């Protein structure tokens, strides 16, 4: 910085948004004299309108002293920090608030819910905050978040009973993105979510690491209230072929384009269940990592004729070899695929060559083959040099 913080501020704000530029903006505002402060804040506020709110961040503990705080849109309260900071007027401007790794989540959510209305808040993240059913209930029953669109409550202790109370709230009409991974939700909780008519705007659900099983998957598939759902994350949920079949044949999940099924018991039978219904034809991102897949599974997926919308396919941490790779390479429906994950499988340089020579994978930009122990690095490099192309990033 020079001795002219206002000039430095102007120069910084004409740069592309970045964390370094944000630090410079903060430093410039902090260096302004009292006579120039309002001018600097107004100028910065105008130019920061084009920035993503997530880049305009600050810790709530800095709020009382930071002269740049009026520019912050994403605030966070960390472990052991004073929850009374949530009472300050500086919170009112926030569009995003995170209480990550906060060991007194109940007290914080109680204070938020009974405190001032936060009209600008669209995203509330309560990750790993020791939130139990009562804490979640206090949030959703509160009128403090009238425009909440994203609620993150992953890695907490919400149970089926908590879900039943959650979905009964009439205050969730704007909620579009619900993240509840790694809680204690079972089939009944999934059933409660599926039956709720209070979530008309919901487009994304994350339920990974909850034991909803086939029953829960079937309940979601049968829900008449989830027709607008675009993204469903049910990794490591104890779902098998029956649950997969229910989701794949759902008459209601007509908007689904992203489907994360990693770390479930999929196998060949699960793939056969997946290709038995129409939903796969609309999926642009399919994640089957750690799904117990082999060459036969990959071949069944490739031969389904349902991969025409696929842009990203994650098959990492499976047992797919050269035959499976060749089957994928021969699938004309994968012409729009841009990202293929085959990390930690059983490919050799022969499988790599089949993928690189495929006439159908011309759009492929990212190919991940790391941790394939059967690939000889020298042979693979020779294949890449012979058959690779500009614009394709192969990770070995």
- The per-residue pLDDT for range 282-318, each reduced to its tens digit, is 999 999 999 999 999 999 999 999 999 999 999 999 9
Q: Which helix (H) or strand (E) holds 109?
A: helix 105-114
What residues does each domain of the chain span? 1-51, 67-395
Residue 349 has pLDDT above 80, yes or no: yes
pLDDT digits (tens, 9 = 90+) for 3-62: 688 999 999 999 999 999 999 999 999 999 999 999 999 999 999 999 999 999 999 999
Which region among 24-28, 140-144, 322-326 has the lowest average model confidence (pLDDT)? 140-144
pLDDT tens across 175-194, in order? 999 999 999 999 999 999 99
C-alpha 363/C-alpha 391 separation (Å) is 9
Residue 389 pLDDT grade (very low, low, confident, very high; cuts 50, 70, 90) = confident
Provide the CA 2 distance to its chain's centre, in angstroms.
41
Cα–Cα distance, 244 to 269 (Å, whole number) = 10
Written as six digits, the tokens of 376 are 């000889």
Share of the chain above pLDDT 70, in %: 98
Residue pLDDT, tens place only, 352-387 = 999 999 999 999 999 999 999 999 989 999 999 988
Q: Which of 37-51, 107-121, 265-279 has the lowest mean pLDDT?
A: 107-121
Is the whole-model pTM more than 0.85? yes
**Per-residue model confidence (pLDDT) at position 81:** 81
Instruction: Tell me how crowded residue 394 is: count the other CB atoms within 10 A of its CB.
Output: 18
pLDDT of residue 3: 62
Mean confidence (pLDDT) of the chain: 94
Question: Closest by alpha carbon to 279, among 337, 320, 220, 351?
Answer: 220
Q: Tokens standing for 136?
A: 């979640």
The SS3 assignment for 89 reads helix
CB atoms within 10 A of CB 106: 16
pLDDT tens track for 216-252: 999 999 999 999 999 999 999 999 999 999 999 999 9
Which CATH fold would you assign to the domain 67-395?
A: 3.80.10
Please determine, for residue 279, whether its predicted confidence score (pLDDT) is greater than 60.
Answer: yes
């Amino acid at each position: 910085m020079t001795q002219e913080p206002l000039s430095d501020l102007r120069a910084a704000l004409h740069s592309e948004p970045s964390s370094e530029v944000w630090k410079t903006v903060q430093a410039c505002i902090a260096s302004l004299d009292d006579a120039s402060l309002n001018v600097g804040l107004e100028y910065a506020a105008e130019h920061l309108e084009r920035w993503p709110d997530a880049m305009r961040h600050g810790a709530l503990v800095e709020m009382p002293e930071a002269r740049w705080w009026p520019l912050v849109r994403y605030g966070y309260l960390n472990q052991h920090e004073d929850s009374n900071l949530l009472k300050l007027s500086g919170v009112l401007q926030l569009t995003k608030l995170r209480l990550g790794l906060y060991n007194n989540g109940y007290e914080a959510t109680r204070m938020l819910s009974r405190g001032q209305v936060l009209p600008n808040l669209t995203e509330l993240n309560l990750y790993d905050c020791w939130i139990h059913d009562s804490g979640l209930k206090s949030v959703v029953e509160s009128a403090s978040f009238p425009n909440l669109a994203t609620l993150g409550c992953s890695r907490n202790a919400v149970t089926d009973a908590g879900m039943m109370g959650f979905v009964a709230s009439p205050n969730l009409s704007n909620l579009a993105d619900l993240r509840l991974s790694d809680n204690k939700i079972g089939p009944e909780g999934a059933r409660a979510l599926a039956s709720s008519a209070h979530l008309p705007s919901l487009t994304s659900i994350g339920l990974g690491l909850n034991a909803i099983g086939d029953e829960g998957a079937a309940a979601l598939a049968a829900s008449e209230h989830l027709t607008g759902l675009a993204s469903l994350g049910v990794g490591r949920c104890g779902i098998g072929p029956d649950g997969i079949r229910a989701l794949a044949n759902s008459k209601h999940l007509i908007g689904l384009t992203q489907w994360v099924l990693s770390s479930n018991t999929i196998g060949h039978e699960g793939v056969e269940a997946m290709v038995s219904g129409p939903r796969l034809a609309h999926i642009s991102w399919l994640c089957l990592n750690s799904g117990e897949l082999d060459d036969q599974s990959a071949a069944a997926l490739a031969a389904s004729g349902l991969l025409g919308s696929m842009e990203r396919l994650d098959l990492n941490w499976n047992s797919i070899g050269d035959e499976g790779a060749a089957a994928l390479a021969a699938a004309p429906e994968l012409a729009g695929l841009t990202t293929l994950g085959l990390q930690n499988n059983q490919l050799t340089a022969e499988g790599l060559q089949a993928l690189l020579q495929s006439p159908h994978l011309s759009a492929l930009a990212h190919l991940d083959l790391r941790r394939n122990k059967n690939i000889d690095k020298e042979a693979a490099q020779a294949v890449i040099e012979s058959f690779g192309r500009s614009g394709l990033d192969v990770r070995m």
